[in-house]
């Protein structure tokens, strides 16, 4: 087989869409407050000198503007935005939140699925965290940019993106890196040649597992990236769902994660699907695995479960999961203690592949091996 390529991207915490995601998750954390009876579905739009928040909630928390506005400003300050066009100090904040519909509450108060929908989980043996290589290393690049900025490289701005193209000799067999694209927001008074040199020095160590002597580095291809963040491009919650998951290497059900409580199966269903897929691959019965779940609003049990591993439909594994794993929203919530995690811990650099997240646990290997 001739070599083929696959590409994924990642974005920094200061990308406009991620600013929106983090605001939504921060507000959801505040509203939920570790209480399983609370609900949140928060959407955020960020643009030049403005933040608009809307959505639905069910909570005993004070969700008036005067309680949420300081939280929003602090979130933006922590990201690093105190720039002309978008500053935590003086931006305009518009908040319109309504109580959750009683019609929806009929199905979700007793932990029926928060909506209908399909969710996918994926894992493969390409990296130690069982994630596809291109999204794994794209996240490493953007994390390196953010770490450099927070560690004193103050010429860097909060906004940034990475994109990496891997060469493959066969399925799940990466052999090299064709090119790396990286755009980093920077101060106006630093020359583009210096930006490119410094950024390459920051990101090269993240891909040292591969020989990059023939890799093409395309850093700030336009030659200037001073105006960035929401001042340069409007951001919306849920617009980076491919960055959040598998970089396009696996299917996505279409539902966003950020701003939602975990009764919403867009979030919890995707988490359990990743857990199941990862345990399949960790058991060494397959080099890659895709798991699909589907739900109906208000109904606890999933309407379907599909397992596809190494090019085969595995009904035996699917049946074992159905009979032995509680796949209801409440079952998933209890298994991963989802009302006691900080949703903001998941917002940036992917919801999967982080060792500290409970759905990354590997504890079903022996059972799956015996099937």
Output helix, strand, coil percentages for the chain, rounded to the nearest 5: 35, 25, 40
pLDDT tens for 43-84 read 999 999 999 999 999 998 888 889 999 999 999 999 999 999
DSSP string, 104-131: HHHHHTTT--SS-EEEEEEEETTSTTS-
**Cα–Cα distance measured from residue 135 to residue 115, given in angstroms and rounded to the nearest whole number:** 28
Position 64 scores a pLDDT of 85
Position 44 scores a pLDDT of 98
Residue 325 has pLDDT above 70, yes or no: yes
Residue 106 has pLDDT above 80, yes or no: no
pLDDT tens for 136-173 read 999 999 999 999 999 999 999 999 999 999 999 999 99
Whether the CB-CB separation of 19 and 50 falls below 8 Å is answered with no
For residue 260, what is the DSSP state? B
């Amino acid at each position: 087989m001739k070599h083929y390529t696959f590409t994924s991207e990642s974005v920094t915490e200061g990308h406009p869409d991620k600013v929106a995601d983090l605001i939504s998750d921060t507000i959801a954390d505040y509203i939920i407050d570790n209480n399983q009876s609370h609900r949140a579905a928060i959407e955020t739009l960020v643009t030049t000198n403005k933040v608009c928040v809307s959505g639905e909630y069910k909570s005993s928390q004070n969700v008036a503007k005067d309680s949420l506005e300081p939280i929003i400003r602090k979130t933006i300050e922590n990201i690093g935005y105190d720039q002309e066009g978008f500053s935590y100090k003086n931006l305009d904040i518009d908040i319109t939140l309504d109580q959750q519909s009683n019609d929806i509450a009929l199905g979700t108060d007793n932990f029926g699925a928060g909506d209908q929908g399909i969710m996918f989980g994926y894992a493969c043996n390409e990296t130690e965290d069982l994630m596809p290589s291109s999204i794994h290393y794209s996240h490493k690049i953007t994390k390196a940019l953010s770490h450099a900025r927070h560690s004193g490289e103050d010429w860097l701005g909060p906004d940034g993106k990475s994109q990496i193209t891997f060469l493959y000799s066969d399925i799940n067999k990466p052999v090299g890196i064709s090119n790396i694209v990286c755009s980093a927001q920077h101060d106006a008074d630093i020359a583009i040649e210096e930006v490119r040199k410094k950024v390459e020095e920051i990101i090269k160590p993240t891909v040292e597992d591969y020989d990059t002597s023939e890799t093409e580095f395309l850093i700030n291809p336009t030659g200037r990236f001073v105006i960035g963040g929401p001042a340069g491009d409007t951001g919306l919650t849920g617009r980076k769902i491919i960055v959040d998951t598998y970089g396009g290497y696996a299917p996505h059900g279409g539902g966003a994660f950020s701003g939602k409580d975990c009764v919403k199966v867009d979030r919890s269903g995707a988490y359990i699907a990743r857990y199941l897929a990862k345990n399949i691959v960790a058991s060494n019965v397959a080099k890659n695995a895709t798991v699909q779940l589907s739900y109906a609003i208000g109904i606890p049990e999933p309407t379907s479960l599909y397992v596809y591993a190494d090019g085969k439909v595995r009904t035996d594994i699917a049946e074992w999961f159905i009979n032995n794993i509680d796949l209801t929203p409440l079952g998933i919530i209890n298994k991963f203690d989802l009302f006691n995690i900080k949703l903001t811990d998941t917002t940036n650099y992917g919801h999967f592949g982080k060792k500290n997240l409970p759905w990354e646990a590997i504890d079903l290997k022996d059972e799956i091996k015996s099937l």
